[in-house]
Chains A and B, each alone.
Chain A
Amino acid sequence: MKFINLFKRKKSCQVAKDRLKILLISDRINCSPEMMELIKTDIAKVISKYMKIDTENMDIQINAKGSRGSREGKTPTLYANIPIIDLHKM
């Protein structure tokens, strides 16, 4: 069984890197995951007025551009990826 697990298991180093990347984005921009969730629901509410969107699969994130993000004077950007189910809801 251990032999099979060896192939299945995601290397813990990769897990650590993935966790850190998400952690540091919110640390650096000083924006908590809860706040991101609030922003997400608000955006969904507004867009839903005009078209039918897939709220389950929408994704928003703040990308700090540049190696050290906003500290180097580059502006962080909010990316929203919202799948549209029906463009003409009305």
Chain B
Amino acid sequence: MENNFSTEKKVSEVIVVTSGKGGVGKTTTSANVGTGLAKEGKRVCLIDTDIGLRNLDVVMGLENRIVYNLVDVVEGNCRVKQALIRDKRHPGLYLMPSAQTRDKTAVSPGQMVKVIDHLREQFDYIILDCPAGIEQGFQNAIAGADRALIVTTPEVSAIRDADRIVGLLEARGLEKMDLIINRMRMDMVKRGDMMSSADVVDILAVPLIGVVPDDENVVIATNQGEPLVGTDTPAGLAYANVVDRILGKEVPFLNFEKTISFWTKVTGIFHRV
């Protein structure tokens, strides 16, 4: 992999992954986008801002290597560097875990900005995994962000919450945001039982940066603690495309219909009648 950091001017981008609603795939998205960027040779720091309910370490498979965490950094119990876990599988990828035994009030937005500013010098991308909700945890996560990835699923509740988040981010002056639609099922869209990505984009009016199909490989990858970005799976390819688009490349959107085999279509006809 080409190493061109030294010649490049250091401009880091801080991306918050948020959704409002819980369980739509923020942590999975953070893990895959972060890992994907590292695979592209970028220096990446993932920060789990969900204090009290940390998950990103587990999804990344780094849960056994935690010594210090975000709250330790903020409270001055350790240096920033000590809390960073290096992912041995991908050079340039680090994780700052969150504390499990504390709550959201342990960190303030101002402290968060300070930690991020410190990390900006060493990383190309800082990915913040935001907790669900719009309370202090959310405020902490967005405080230092330059850009937002809004994760939603094609469901009424998730879209409604995403719309609220868009409003709050706009009110904060965070204009650069992109939409990821997760758990898309093309078979359901085709028979009119799920909103299409075009429908969701039309409702939310946020530029689309990726559509991730509902893929059981995501569950398998989470079981194993290894993000599936870049693997030859529908979700792995979709996340790889998201990463490319974040890097500014023009990538056409995948057509997941191809993954539905002819046989499924034939049996599908019989199921319906």
Contact = CB atoms under 8 A, between A and B. Distances in A.
Given A2-B273, A28-B163, A71-B170, A20 B203 contact: yes
Chain A interface size, as a band, is 10 to 19
A17 B205 contact: no
A28 B193 CA distance: 26
Contact of B192 (A13, A19, A28): A13
A67 interface: yes
Contacts of B268: none
A3 interface: yes
Contacts of A71: 167, 170-171
Nearest to A21: B203
Given A2-B273, A20-B159, A21-B203, A68 B193 contact: no
A6 B271 CA distance: 13
A13 B196 CA distance: 8
B193 A12 contact: yes
A85 interface: no
B72 to A, nearest CB: 38
A8 to B, nearest CB: 13
A49 interface: no
Interface in A1-46: 2-3, 6, 11-14, 16-17, 19-21, 23-24, 27-28
Shortest 4 CB-CB distances between A and B: which pairs?
A: A11-B192, A67-B205, A12-B193, A13-B192
